[in-house]
Homo-oligomer: A and B are copies of this chain.
Amino acid sequence: MMVVVAYDVSTETPEGKRRLRLVAKTCVKYGQRVQNSVFECSVSPSDYLVLVHDLLKIANTDEDSLRFYKLGARYADRIEHYGRERSLPVNDVMMI
């Protein structure tokens, strides 16, 4: 199934930047980075549990927000895109 991961973190601090880098690294094992802090991951049900578990080890849940949207197996019609489209480098924090 397709899962969208939206990760809100302050990248004003080196720690926040580091966490975003680690989240990105983890997510792109399963898919792609579509925006600076949004990832689309193709996962099995067990992958999904591992992904959530791994991301919760990285995120600081007092400060960061981690939101998952499960689009299911037939997701093509559920996604619409406008504007800039690109693969973002996994290791970089985009300057935003």
Contact = CB atoms under 8 A, between A and B. Distances in A.
Band of interface residues on A: 35 or more
A41 interface: no
B35 A65 contact: yes
A29 interface: no
Interface string A51-63: 0100110011111
A34 B63 CA distance: 14
Interface in A34-77: 34-38, 52, 55-56, 59-72, 77
19 contacts: A8-B35, A8-B36, A8-B38, A12-B95, A12-B96, A38-B67, A52-B80, A61-B82, A63-B83, A64-B83, A64-B84, A65-B83, A66-B83, A67-B79, A67-B80, A68-B80, A70-B78, A71-B78, A72-B78
